[in-house]
Amino acid sequence: MKTHNSQIATSDASAEICRLLREQQSFLILTHYRPDGDAIGSQLALAILLKNLGKKVEAWNDDDVPAKFRFLPRVTMICRPPSDPQDFDVVVAIDCSIQPRLGSGLERVRSRKHFINIDHHVSNEKFAEINWVVPEATASGQIIHQLIQRGGFQLTRDIAICLFTAISTDTGSFMFANTTAESLRVAADLVEKGVDVGEISRHVYESYPYARMQLLQRTLADLKLVERNRVAYFWVTNEMYERSGAKREDTEGLIDYARSIDGVVVAVLFEELTEPGKIRVSFRSKHPKVDVNSIARHFGGGGHREASGARIAGQPRDVEQRVLEAIHAALKEAAL
């Protein structure tokens, strides 16, 4: 694949991105596999914006769009990467801190002139030619909103719906500590563009399949409290998926049940993957002195101070022990 290795500083990135959106003709938009609401909403918002500008646009993901996000406008634009490599003027990675999490999409790019990385994770490795990484943004959707404003692009109702979904999901419906005055101002602007908050909430937070409830029942039955009840953790095993009939996407939000327990400082969800010898671990912190991003980075992952994750090689109980030891060290360092 033909590439360019020179990088543009973050401070200059937004102006250069706006220029490329106007001047270039063919675009591929990628985000991380196992996409969440911010990934899907931001990817779709940019895809719709480019389509409205008359550009040729592809949006790929290794995984299907989770059912609760299929109400989003133009959602059928997102598809699996094709078998035959394609050429693009610009490839854009959104909401992805490390390049491998983009999955097989990059492998299907035969050539491209420019590579853009738009993200809000503090752990972003700035792997592209143009990196616009804004850790203080609550969601990548907030950065796309800023891009639209800076570029003077039209913010349509369809784009607004996608961006509101992105920001709402990454702030826990504006309940997480990462919610800021700016994110609320952006949300208000999106509502003024015609977003129906009630409709989005029904789709995203009140339309879970019964199989997810069965999965939740099994996971909470195994929930454990350690470190004087300051750490809550539980497992989602392959057997639980089989017995409940739930899908991998149904784990999203389960960790919040452990996080919501009074006195819990760190919540952890361990998930068996279909890939042998790999465990997916999600971390949540409720205390400003406990940075779970640093814990996740210790295991090759990353994310935010309050919410991070990693994929860890090893047998389940070995991974569990190593993770709990790392959390113990973090609590000790925080003097908690």
202-231 pLDDT, tens digit per residue, is 999 999 999 999 999 999 999 999 999 999
- What are the residues whose beta carbons fall under 8 Å from the beta carbon of 71, sequence distance 6 or more? 199, 203
Residues 74, 276: Cα–Cα separation, whole Å: 36
Q: Return the pLDDT at 7.
A: 63
In which band, very low, low, confident or very high, does the pLDDT at 336 lie, cut at 50, 70 and 90? confident
Tens of pLDDT, residue by residue over 178-198, are 999 999 999 999 999 999 999
- What are the residues whose beta carbons fall under 8 Å from the beta carbon of 234, sequence distance 6 or more? 219, 220, 222, 223, 224, 258, 268, 269, 270
The reported pTM is: 0.92
By CB neighbour count within 10 A (0-12 exposed, 13-18 middle, 19+ buried), where does 246 fall? buried
- What are the residues whose beta carbons fall under 8 Å from the beta carbon of 116, sequence distance 6 or more? 13, 17, 20, 90, 91, 92, 93, 128, 129, 130, 131, 132
Tens of pLDDT, residue by residue over 269-325, are 999 999 889 999 999 999 999 999 999 999 999 999 999 999 999 999 999 999 999
Token pair 């980075």 in the structure block, residue: 297
> Which residue, among 123, 125, 170, has the nearest Cα to 297 in the 3D structure?
123
Sheet of 130-133: strand order equals 78-79, 56-60, 26-31, 86-94, 109-119, 130-133
- For residue 4, pLDDT beyond 60: no
Q: What is the separation, in whole angstroms, between the first and last Cα of the chain?
A: 50
Tens of pLDDT, residue by residue over 80-118, are 999 999 999 999 999 999 999 999 999 999 999 999 999
Q: Return the pLDDT at 179.
A: 94
Output b/e per residue, 205-240; b: 16+ Cβ within 10 A. eeebbeebebbbebbeeeeeeebeebbbbbbbeeeb
Q: Return the pLDDT at 8.
A: 58
Q: What is the location of CATH 3.10.310.30 in the chain?
A: 210-333
Q: Which CATH number fits domain 10-205: 3.40.50.620, 1.10.8.80, 3.90.1640.10, 3.40.50.2000?
A: 3.90.1640.10
Residue type, 316: P
- What are the residues whose beta carbons fall under 8 Å from the beta carbon of 70, sequence distance 6 or more? none
Domain 210-333, CATH class in plain words: alpha beta
